[in-house]
Structure 1
Amino acid sequence: MSERVVKPVGRGFLFLDSHPAGCAQVVRDVAGQVERRAPERRTALVIGSSSGYGLATTIAGLARYGIDGIGVCFEKAPTPRRTATAGWYRTAETAALAAELGRDFRFVNADAFADSTKTEVLELIAERWGGIDHLIYSVAAPRRVDPRNGETYQSAIKAIGAAHTTKSLAFDDGEPILQEVGIEVATDDEIAQTIKVMGGEDWSRWISALEVRDLLKPGFNTVALTYIGSELTGPIYRQGSIGAAKADLEHTALTLSKDGVQAMTSVNGAAVTQASSAIPGIGLYVSLLHKVLGDGLQTPVQQSIALWDQLTGATPLDLDDEGRIRLDRWELNDETQNAVRAQWDSATQDNIADVADTAWFFAEVRRLYGFDVPGVDYEAPAEVDVDWP
């Protein structure tokens, strides 16, 4: 037992510690938003299951359709100096939720890019279920070690073609700061490395490994989660180095689709995640989006429910002309985008707290680490030594 009072200490959008009870409550709050349906005994593999959309997809699948299967993520255990990562605590609580629901759902804490991880996961699938019905790929990583040659690739958040300057949101002691951030032009090598990290190569290798072991059940489908976003964030996101990787992910879906495999990308809407909060301009954009839409901003779990309904055939696939599932139509309609652009153009340091929902955004960032969660006593000591499930 190792209990202590955990406080939000960090810099910017990064915190050094996570609150175990707060992270656990986040999982329960998300699960509470899911209307349950009769379990169908579907088996799923979720790669990137501990945070963001991967976490929401895991919880929605468990709570709505009673999926069995495996979640793969890469989290750090507690140490004498630091708590575990937030994803460690969220995973422990998600495992408890799965057990309460009577599901056989396991979690593997390992590098999803590594061949040894694929071998471990495939052995477990073969032993327990004989195959899977669905694979959800939701990996957001800053780097990747290629298991074939040992080379390390590093992703870059840069523009393509011309340098770009964007408005961006920062915080100083919880107070919003509007700033201008310059985005450098990516080199060809930086673009290529970003594609290696965030593109479709590893997703394809997972599918190939499953095919070799004959672990794809009849009717199998797979989705990789992606994002398009607004013209306001386009130069740094969709038209930037990250966008090049997302385009590769979408092209990979086309190459994977064949007999026995239905592969698609799922275009999700904007959300506050640990990955997105690190991208210049995204925090401001999401704050403005929430100011415009309020409760009309669809949460990751709301979108994940819609995704599972489509993957299971409960509702028809909502595809665009390029075969992508579109869960972001609520975000990109003209009325919403025009309203957000007007707020973006009018934003100054003097009015930023009024035109953007900065208090909501800052609280959401803190919730990523288990802080600012209603019902949690942050003055009470919390048990930080939580076992991996």
Structure 2
Amino acid sequence: MTLREITPGNRGFLYLNSHPGGCAAAVDELWERTPAPTGPATSDGPVALVIGSSAGYGLAATVAALRTYGMRGLGIAFEAPETDRRTASAGWYRTARTAELAGPDGGFAFLNADAFSAAAKEEALDHLAARYGKVDYLVYSVAAPRRTDPGTGEVHHSVIKPLGGPYRAKTLQFDGDTPLVGSLELAPATDAERDATVQVMGGADWQLWIDALTDRGLVRDGFHTVALTYVGSDLTAPIYRAGTIGAAKQHLEDTARRLQKGLAPLGGRAHTVVAGAAVTQASTAIPSIALYTSLLHAVLHDGFQSTAQQATALWQQLTGAAPLQLDEEQRIRLDGWEMDDKVQAAVHERWAAATTDTLAELADTAWFRSQVGRLYGWDVPGADYAAPVETTVAWPTTG
């Protein structure tokens, strides 16, 4: 037992400590917002492998797989345990609670490992082969700042920069609790920085996972794999779709088409999934995204779709309960609510008018900041932040 009084210890959007009770409450809320089972529970449901299962869309996809469809399988995340100075990472605590909700007999296990490594692939595939035989679905939702190439040992570091020219834009900043509209200028990435970002955030690792599964004969007939991507507004395009991240996402989408050709003889399919905007630990690091998302939420209010809603829509399409919503690039689209012309026009108007003086009228900055806190288990209803909390929580056994 390690009861500790903890504080966020945050600097802007970065938090040093995560709150175990708040992280658990956030998962409980996600669980309740996910539709109830579509039929009676079975012991031989579909098998899903979710890579990046502890946060964002990966967590939402995992919860929906468990809650709505009673799937079996394995979630993989790379999370930090508790130390003398800090709590465990938020994803550690979220995974522990997700495993509790799945139940001891739920047939879903969680592996804490670097998904980029050959060792993680070997351990994951050994577990899947021993317990289930073959896999029906693979959801790839990995966001990481670096990747070690398992073949060469080279470490690649991603950067968030524009391509071709400098990027100047408005940003959302906080002076204490006061939201401000600031400005930012970033120099363009070098070719080496662009290539490194593609190595980290592109489709290379996704390809290796599919190769490993097929080599081991673990792809079931009708297998479907998807990887998460984003398009977003032209307001953020210079730093996203037209920047280093966009180059990586294009590589991810090109990988999907290559995978589709390879899986077709096996009856399999591969797509990227264009999700809508969300407040995630990855997105808060991207300049201008905070301001854009705050403006978008002010326009949409209840029309802003949560990760739970989007994950539910994704699984409906993957399981055949709804037809695939594909664009001309053969990407599954979940972002129609965000990219609606009227919505984007309203966001553009607010973006042009946004200053520190007008921000309170135009953007949901309090909502955005609260959402960032929730990523670390803070600002979650139902959590007792005044009392000491047990911070030593065991990682779920893989069984």
TM-score (norm 1): 0.99
- The answer to whether residue 137 in structure 2 is matched with residue 128 in structure 1 is no
Counting aligned pairs with the same residue, the percent is 55
Q: Secondary structure, in 3 states, of the residue corresponding to 1:7?
A: coil
Partner Cα separation in structure 1 for residue 81 and residue 175 of structure 2: 29
Match of 2:66 in 1: 62
Equivalent residue number for residue 234 of structure 2? 231
Q: Which moved more, 1:285-294 or 1:170-179?
A: 170-179
Residue among 80, 83, 87 paired with 2:84:
80
Q: Residue 180 of structure 2 aligns to a residue in which SS?
A: strand
Report the secondary structure of 1:229's partner residue.
coil
Q: 1 CA distance for matches of 2:229 and 2:106? A: 28
Q: Does 1:222 align with 2:225?
A: yes
> Does structure 2 conserve the Cα–Cα contact (< 8 Å) formed by 1:183 and 1:236?
no
Quote the Cα distance in structure 2 between the aligned partners of 1:353 and 1:368.
Answer: 23
Q: What's the counterpart of residue 174 of structure 1?
A: 177
Match of 2:338 among 309, 331, 337: 331
Q: Look up the match of 2:7.
A: 7
Q: Does 1:304 align with 2:308?
A: no
Structure 2 letter corresponding to 1:325: I
Aligned equivalents of 1:202, 1:8: Cα separation in 2: 33
Query: 1:183 deviation in Å?
Result: 1.8
Give the 5 Å matches for 1:70-149.
Answer: 70-99=74-103, 102-149=105-152
* Residue aligning to 1:376: 383
Give the match's secondary structure for 2:382: coil
SS at match of 2:103: helix
Q: CA deviation at 1:234?
A: 0.3
Alpha-carbon distance in structure 2 between the residues aligned to 1:207 and 1:324: 18
Which residue of the partner structure matches residue 205 of structure 2?
Answer: 202
Shift of 1:174: 2.1
Alignment partners' CA distance in 2, 1:117 and 1:274: 23
Q: Deviation at 1:4?
A: 1.3
Select between 330-339 and 40-49 the one with higher mean Cα deviation: 40-49
Q: Secondary structure at the match of 1:168?
A: strand
Structure 1 position 374, deviation (Å)? 0.7
CA distance in 2, matches of 1:375, 1:229: 33
1:51 corresponds to 2:55: yes
Instruction: Give secondary structure in 2 for the equivalent of 1:179.
Output: strand
Note the alpha carbon deviations across 1:134-177, whole angstroms, 9 max, x for none. Answer: 00000000000001111000101000111110111111222212
Number of corresponding residues: 388
CA distance in 1, matches of 2:107, 2:177: 42
Question: Residue type of the partner of 2:117?
Answer: A
Tell me how far apart the structure 2 counterparts of residues 55 and 174 of structure 1 sit (CA, whole Å): 29
Distance in 2 between residues matched to 1:94 and 1:52, nearest whole Å:
13
Q: In the alignment, is the contact (CA less than 8 A) between 1:34 and 1:305 conserved in 2?
A: yes
SS in 1 for 2:33: coil
SS of alignment partner, residue 65 of structure 1:
coil
Give the counterpart of 1:284 among 281, 286, 291. 291
Which consecutive aligned stretches of 4+ in structure 1 deviate over 4 angstroms post-superposition? none
Taking structure 2 as the reference length, the TM-score comes to: 0.96
CA RMSD of aligned residues (A): 0.9
**8 Å Cα contact 1:6/1:19 also seen in 2:** yes
